[in-house]
Structure formats: C-alpha cells, structure tokens
Amino acid sequence: MQNSKTEAYIGFCLRAGKLTAGINAAAAIRKGVYLLIADRSVSDNSRKEILSLKRKFGCPLVMTDGLAELVHKPCCKLAAIRDKSLAEAIFGEAGKGRITEYIGGMEE
C-alpha cells in the first residue's frame, strides 16, 4: 500500500480517538462529524444510509478503495472523522491520491 498524507491523517485520527468506524456507530453519533469517508464497494442500501448521514451531519463525503485497511477494521465501509482540522486536511487532499470527493451518481 502506498503511504500518503491522507493515510497519515487517518492514522492521526485513529490515535487521537477521533474516528468512528462503521455505519451503525456513525449513526449513533448526535453531532460533531466533520467528514465521512466511505468505501467505493459499499452496497446500494448502505450508500443510501451513508447519504442520509451526510445530510444529517451536513458534512462532505469522500470515497476511497480499501477503507478497511486504512482504519484497521475488517469489512469497514464508513468512517466518520470527528476532528475539524484533520477533516479539513483529509478533504484538502481529496483527488490527489486514493480518496476522491463524492459528487453524486446515486440519487439522495
């Protein structure tokens, strides 16, 4: 796996305890999510739930391949970043590596 700034930022989130892994865990959060990171291989039903969470938190959504490897959780399809500065840093790196901003492709 190629090492990048984005992967380092996600590692910082993990060590700081500012990353919530999993769709159900993210849905249990009331507020304070600044970025959602979803795996591209997510199913249509899960994608609908993720888009619902995107609306709930009013935050950007980025897509990546191999999210489970990045967050060190098997079968993880969603990560919620709860640190504003790290979320901005990750979003700023979108498009430069494995992570790209979610533009659309499925109706909300």
CA distances to 8, 28, 62, 98 from 90, in Å: 9, 23, 9, 11
The alpha carbon of 49 is separated from its chain's Cα centroid by a whole number of angstroms, namely 13
Average pLDDT, the chain: 88
- Number of separate domains in the chain: 1
Size (the chain), residues: 108
Q: What is the CATH number of the domain that holds 82?
A: 3.30.1330.30
CA distances to 9, 31, 97 from 3, in Å: 11, 31, 10
pLDDT at 15: 94
Rounded to two decimals, what is the model's pTM?
Answer: 0.88
Within-domain flag for 50 = yes
Within-domain flag for 72 = yes
- Measure the N-to-C terminal CA separation of the chain; round to a whole number of Å: 32
pLDDT at 26: 94
Within-domain flag for 9 = no
Mean pLDDT of 30-58: 93
Is it the case that residue 55 has pLDDT exceeding 50?
A: yes
Is it the case that residue 108 has pLDDT exceeding 80?
A: no
pLDDT at 105: 61
Is it the case that residue 50 has pLDDT exceeding 70?
A: yes
Within-domain flag for 53 = yes
Range of 62's domain?
Answer: 18-101
